[in-house]
Amino acid sequence: MNGILALWKPKGMTSHDCVFKARKILQTKKIGHTGTLDPDVEGVLPLCIGQATKIVPYLTDTSKTYVAEVSLGTATETEDKSGAVIEEKPVTEPIPLQAIESVLQQFTGEIEQVPPMYSAIKVAGRKLYEYARKGQEVERPIRKVTIHEIVLDKASVSENGSVFRFTVSCSKGTYVRTLCVDIGKALGYPAHMSSLERIQAGAFRTQDTVTFAKMEEAMEAGSMEQLLQPITKAVDFMPLIEADAVIEQKVRYGQRLKRPAEADLYRVQKGDQLLGIYETHPAYPHLLKPKRVFVSGKAGGTDAND
């Protein structure tokens, strides 16, 4: 079984929980997820199965789209609704819709974020949440992320403007919790993220997803293959090298290819079959070297690190 299963992750489960349950349902250990979602978050979680596990890093690096809800007036230690309240300032005057839209637009493009203490970012070899659980505050590294687009859901804005939702498309590594807190600060209030859904991860969107119940039904009916998305869909953002017989043979044996243009990463396909992923050779920039190979001169696929 090889392919990508776009799971709709339910609330109350970690991403690891989802992988564990999927392994039991599909009766296979070779499953990997493509980006952690907190237990309180639901949404699109692509699961890579079989040969597709080789492309996990590339799916993790793709942009994501979320629908987030901001609640102004209270800040929490975790920056979401699960944490203890650490600051309060009631919203006593209505916040104009135009003010909210104006502030949101200030966060488009490349921005800087200080990751929350309750996160898995490592400082001095330890995860931030490990410090946080011991009540220790440490200096956190500033990270640069990119907000491609942020749009206010006008219909969601509460009467006084203290609660609203927005849709955000962002780069890998963006903490939407922190974005909500920073938006609140720009509006003059403590804030936290009160809900979050991921509606897109790379090429996979809400409409592509299946639930655990659907997976179980498909396994019982013997139709699981019909739910799998092709591996090629996950890497279609990479420039394509169409393989003829000569290129196919080179890929099968993990040989280098000529670099056709300035891009650093390429997918090599023969028709609809993904043969490999190639990257610029560090010593010979006019050449590409194999990073992942899905076919080989022998049986099965190989990882290439030469």
Please give the span between the terminal C-alpha atoms of the chain, in angstroms, as a whole number: 28
Task: Kindly give, in sequence order, each residue whose CB lies less than 8 Å from that of residue 237, ignoring residues fewer than 6 positions away.
Answer: 62, 202, 203
- Measured CA to CA, the distance from residue 47 to residue 9 in angstroms comes to 10
Catalytic residues: 38
- Measured CA to CA, the distance from residue 201 to residue 45 in angstroms comes to 7
- Extended beta strands in 82-213, E state: 85-88, 109-113, 122-123, 126-127, 143-153, 163-170, 191-201, 204-205
Q: How far is CA 304 from CA 59, 175, 236, 238, 275, in A?
A: 18, 32, 20, 18, 12
